[in-house]
Amino acid sequence: MKLTGSEIVIECLKEQGVDTIFGYPGGTILNIYDALYKHSNEIHHILTSHEQGAAHAADGYARATGKVGVCMATSGPGATNLVTGIATAYMDSVPLVAITANVAVSLLGKDSFQEIDIAGVTMPITKHNFIVKDVNLLADTIRRAFTIAKTGRPGPVLVDIAKDVTANEAEYERKIPKQIERSADRIKEGDIEMAVQMICKSKKPFIFIGGGAVISEANEELVKFAHKVDAPVTDSLMGKGAFPGTDLLYTGMLGMHGTKTSNFGVTACDLLITIGARFSDRVVGNAKKFAKNAKILQIDVDPAEINKNVMTDASIIGDVKVVLEKLNRKIGQLCHKEWIEEINDLKKKHPLSYEEEQLTGPYIIEELYKITNGDAIITTEVGQHQMWAAQYYKYTKPRTLITSGGLGTMGYGLGACIGAKLACPKKIVVNIAGDGCFRMNMNEIATAVRYQVPIIQIVINNHVLGMVRQWQNLFYGGRYSNTILNDKVDFVKLAEAMGAEGIRVTKKEEVAPAIERAIALQRPVVLDCEIHCDDKVFPMVPAGAAIEEAFDATDLKKD
């Protein structure tokens, strides 16, 4: 049957099982929005306050479900406003399809009104992108975009469609998407055997988990593997939830704000089994001194990550879940009693700690964990609050911490929170923000109110740009250049002005009742929690230092 390009876009989205889209209309994309209007009972469109919010919401939706998130925007500034969200998804391997419309084919390249080469702009931050100038190619292009976004290592794909293509007609025939197979064609039996030998010979193995384990949904295989190997387990920020934070083998996060147990343990181990992690500089610190006593075995779906940041002694390329299934069949029960005791001694000697006399970020996170029984989806912005959310909330399931790891996008969390709540309406979904981050996209509270999405926004408000101030305090002689937010913005009144509930928290005893009330209200709520401006995230590794040089407040007092 013959359909317009706009109708083909909608039919292809329905083919892919898309039920929610986040976006903002404009001139060049009007035809698509007109077609969407006719299918509003099949595809729910969320009009965000800003296109960046739409990209982050689609990203949060994707991370919470494993499905492909979809966002849409018009040409020019509409399209460029998606760029930060697309880059965020690219850095964290999130399956996303961004659909933009552009000026008509005859106007391309002529500096037409609201024309931008968005494909050129996003080329470095997408797995692939397309410019569609022929309506006959439109359906297959959209299908390819979804396949690319979710195949192998996931990522964002952009489809830019000329306006006349959305109006022109072409034959359309519905197609059922092919099932995406897990990447296993590069897994070599020799690599598996080498890994088994290394693991069985090791006296002090340590397992390091990254975001690839979450994406692969290999949590059950990971638990089995860790207990078979009898090895301590650490994770990156992106790997949280792939291995239960309540398991006795778990040692906490690794890297710049990782636990001393993890940092010292990885430095002392003789084999580091790295699963779905890319050895980010925030994890590795000084690469020349990283895991200096260990052989390194890396398991990753992306061959480009092998020997990119840290040289390995062996590797297996393939989907993490498939690789672990193979290893679990070949490895018998191992025992490393003395090594586990050594790690447990480190846990006792170096627990996480914070100032208990006053209201602090860690206390708020711990209270949130207790009240939700660890069964909420936590989204975050970027900064001190993000690290506290990683350190003090125990994640036991994948896809329960949604945060910008690779790009470190301030303003990410609120949009992602809305996307995650719409994807998982029965879950409690909470965004943790600092006041600096919250200001960037706080207009999305209006979006949550418009659609009555009952999210909880916790603002850990220290009236400064906390993480930058921490660095200025420790390494820049206390020169607080442009990090003090000493204005009179009232987040409670602001929340109320946008139609949400606002609750102020200034004392420890107010935290639990405020969180409980926010959950009970079942509407958008903003908690403005005021803490001291000089609360810090510890432990900490200075930039460029070895992870074994981690220090905390106790070490500073000794100095």
Q: Point out the residues that are catalytic.
A: 51, 113-114, 163, 467
> Cα–Cα–Cα angle for 317, 321, 327, nearest 5°?
75
Dihedral sign, CA of 398, 404, 410, 413?
A: negative
Q: What radius of gyration do the chain's Cα atoms show?
A: 24
Enumerate residues 6+ apart whose C-beta is below 8 A from 398. Answer: 213, 214, 217, 219, 241, 242
Distance CA 263, CA 292 (A): 12
CA–CA gap between residue 547 and residue 286 (Å, rounded): 7
Full DSSP string of 63-84: HHHSSPEEEEE-STHHHHTTHH
DSSP state of 540: B
DSSP label at 244?
A: -
What's the rounded Cα separation, in Å, for the pair 159 and 167?
Answer: 16
Query: Of 398, 506, 520, which is closest to residue 460 (Cα–Cα)?
Result: 506
- How would you class 432 by CB atoms within 10 Å of its CB: exposed for 0-12, middle for 13-18, buried for 19 or more? buried
Q: Which of the 8 DSSP states describes residue 551?
A: B
SS3 220: helix
CB atoms within 10 A of CB 557: 7
